[in-house]
Structure 1
């Protein structure tokens, strides 16, 4: 079965525009409720969390109406990080978890992500089945079987206590000055509180959400905001989260940014030394830098690459029995602790390494030399298929021939936005720029 509505990370789009309308959310909630009530039994429950977008209120109410109409009981936990939904779904024995968020996108966008009872995101096959139900006539519950909805006031607190258990016993953050940028998003309360409770001196940014300022010149997509604060306050380290706090960027004491590749390299090397890295394997996507692959090879470790999207990283990890993976964009997945990427948890693991080793962040975030990499995005109109145009195919083939043996080219359609992403790596920066610009020019001409 194929999916039309779902992308690489749930359903996503501009708020109040198809598919992110109250009508679609209501029907999607009803379809998901029917999917999880196929056995006809009672006492099914679903947990719904959200980030701080204005449109979250609308979608939360619509989803609740759809879910209760099929007999699902709804637990509303309010603004919490995406990984909190994965954790709470499993902890509270829910049949389904829902996160309303468009992650790192601007406030005008929103999205709906589903989690199964095990706390992991639903498979492509499950999403396709929900779509199939949505396209038909959803069977509603009898009047006496309509579900109930209730607010869960301590969901965030439960998540905070869980996250703290991942920090090594006996260690504290006393003496560390930490900048944390919460992107005016879902972790605006949880992240500063956890860091403070563990002993850090906290400089909190992006903690005044107003419904429209999520990811606005802050968070992991704008790490320069946290970098400036680190330098201005003389902080030891910065942690920059995105809107739903499932990804992170680390800033050293000089304000330099370390992406997910460097963080994964640090964790993989440490876990391998401790005998904790299952199968000697790190899972990352095709976007991860060649430098990471070389770093692992030199240590007798293996890099398993997947398609872009943390869900595909997690699927590969579960299939292979591996426990560490992630994305260059800052999704760090540690299945020993969590079922999805967790920016706060990853930040805590980095801080624990600082405390354990006594080394500054600047030493820990430079695990390997990166191969020069360039990424450019080309926006296209709905219905356009630029990668199928003959002239574009010819330019891509020519670029691959030029860069063969010196690097690689990766061109793909974004799963969350109408973008063609053109990425290349090459030891020769001039050749790299030339190849990327030629391909981008060809794609722009086609669209």
Structure 2
């Protein structure tokens, strides 16, 4: 059985339309509850969410499903995705659930599942859950006397913030740093400014007034223009941009220039390697990471191990290879010493530790390599198989030949949106642009 509901990062789509409906959420909870009911102990699941309006629909639907299966539900409210992963483990829960569509607009929502170890579920487990959902009528609900209960954990935010602060070196503080933090009107709108302030920084918070509709709207890691302007206007030392569920990070230096996930991984990897903390002799990243990062790591005698797009696949490779640093160019940074999934706030503190130790401007500290020209174009995808057409294959082959050994072409369907992503990179920026445009035109013609 192939997965139909789960993509690269859980279930995602338009809220109140399949598969992101109350009914599907109920069935998912019952199926996941059946999958993770093992042994005769009292089973429990933790549920968190971001700030989308539709969270009010999905949270009670999921709660009902788990309670019907005899599981106790611990409701955490708006919390970052990495907090759900952390609390799933620390509360000894059998399952963790995050209601979020990450960087997508408020109209979308999604459901991410974590196992009792705090890691996202494997393809195999997700496939089994889908099979149980398909056979929903055969699921055995709990007897009336064995229904679960639901309660709200009041100190969840504090537990997570203390764990985040423990990741910052005790010998350092953020005194004297002025930091603008963009919370994307999302799940970290309270915790991120508080953690930075408690560590000593002067904090200017933006994107910290969620109303259910404004999450990721012209703010956050995928839209950093507002942060760039504010950093310059405030004469701040740097800016930090999180996304809606705070599992990714993008930096802005004092000049208003963006520092992406590749540069962040390079910075942390070099710092940890210098302190004999880097494990596995490598950094794990996706096929989207720039060749400049690969060359920089090679200069440090470190490898770059690539995976398909999706931080879940990065984590799986990290575990298999014994690595403790990995991530995505988009800003998902996974630090195995501190967590099981991407954590924008913990990644920010690791970068800040390097900045504090260096005592130099952020622009001088955070740019360790010159990226090769890279261009990404997204095309709306409305079905069919345009990538299987001969003219599209020919265009892709032509682009690969033109770029040669000093460049590459990557074409893929998104796992979270109905688009085809076209990426090319190489040493000649004009050639990269022509390659992407030629392939895009071929795909558009094939889709007509």
Q: TM-score range by the shorter chain?
A: over 0.9
With 211-220 and 354-363 compared, the bigger mean Cα shift is at 354-363
Report the counterpart of residue 358 of structure 1 in structure 2: 359
Q: Which residue of 2 aligns with 1:15?
A: 15
C-alpha displacement of 1:42: 4.1
1:97-246 aligned within 5 A: 97-136=96-135, 137-246=138-247
Deviation track 1:335-386 (CA, whole Å, cap 9, x = no partner) reads: 10111000011111111111112121101221100000000000111x3222
Give yes or no for contact 2:100–2:112 (8 Å, CA) kept in 1: yes
User: Is the partner of 2:405 in helix, strand or coil?
Assistant: coil
Q: Distance in 2 between matches of 1:113 and 1:288?
A: 24
Cα deviation for residue 426 of structure 1 reads 1.0
Per the normalisation by structure 1, the TM-score is 0.98
CA distance in 2, matches of 1:201, 1:384: 52
Q: What is the distance in 1 between the residues matched to 2:423 and 2:309?
A: 12
1:281 counterpart = 2:282: yes
CA distance in 2, matches of 1:67, 1:42: 15
- Taking the TM superposition and a 5 Å limit, the aligned residue runs for 1:362-373 are 362-373=363-374
Aligned runs of 1:263-412 on 2, under 5 Å? 263-381=264-382, 383-412=383-412
Task: State the match for 1:93 in structure 2.
Answer: 92
2:53 maps to 1:75: no
TM-score by length of 2: 0.98
Q: Distance in 1 between matches of 2:2 and 2:150?
A: 32
SS in 2 for 1:279: coil
Distance 1:429 1:408 in 2: 12
Tell me if structure 1 keeps the 8 A contact 2:358–2:365.
Answer: no
- Alignment-derived partner of residue 248 in structure 2: 247
Alpha-carbon distance, 1:406 to partner: 2.8
The CA distance in 2 between the partners of 1:428 and 1:365, in whole Å, is 24
Give the RMSD, CA atoms, in angstroms: 0.9
* Structure 2 residue matching 1:367: 3-state secondary structure: coil
Deviation, structure 1 residue 387: 1.0
Alpha-carbon offset, residue 38 of structure 1: 4.5
How many pairs align? 445
Residue 248 of structure 2 contacts residue 333 of structure 2 at CA under 8 Å; is this kept in 1?
yes
Unaligned runs of 5+ in 1: none
Alignment of 1:47-62 (within 5 A): 47-62=46-61
How far off is 1:298 after superposition? Answer: 1.0
Moved more, 286-295 or 360-369: 360-369
